[in-house]
Amino acid sequence: MPRVRRGHHKVERRKKLMKLAKGYFGSKHRLYRTVKEQVERSLNFAFAGRKVRKIDFRRLWITRINAGCRQNGMSYSRFMDGLKKADITLNRKSLAEIARTDAAAFAVLCETAKKAIA
């Protein structure tokens, strides 16, 4: 079996991980074994964080929509049900933005939802 020399590839792989660990505290950016563990851990947290961010934003949008609904005398769930029955397909992000910036337009949406429920 031929001999395999791994010098350059090994150095490149190590440099790549060390670059990812730049700015970490203590041995977490100096010692290769610790760097490897920490970078893997950090990438896992980053992956999970991207999922959590979506959940957090949805929760924020629902809170803003609910606040706008309460000002117009209805609950969030009744409002969403009314929009569905009125065949208005706006996503929560845009509804939250309307509720936050344009109260008059949101009041019109609430009235439309109330009419669709009744």
Distance separating alpha carbons of residues 114 and 59, to the nearest angstrom:
23
Can you give the pLDDT at residue 113? 95
- Residue 36 sits in a domain whose CATH number is 1.10.1900.20
Q: Dump pLDDT digits (tens) for 24-55.
A: 999 999 999 999 999 999 999 999 999 999 99
| Helix ranges restricted to H, the chain | 7-20, 32-71, 76-85, 92-101, 103-117
Looking at the domain assignment, is residue 112 inside a domain?
yes
Looking at the domain assignment, is residue 52 inside a domain?
yes
User: Domain span at residue 96?
Assistant: 7-117
Residue 7 confidence (pLDDT) above 80? no
Looking at the domain assignment, is residue 1 inside a domain?
no
Looking at the domain assignment, is residue 110 inside a domain?
yes
Per the structure, the count of domains in the chain is 1
Looking at the domain assignment, is residue 2 inside a domain?
no
Looking at the domain assignment, is residue 39 inside a domain?
yes
Q: Dump pLDDT digits (tens) for 59-113.
A: 999 999 999 999 999 999 999 999 999 999 999 999 999 999 999 999 999 999 9
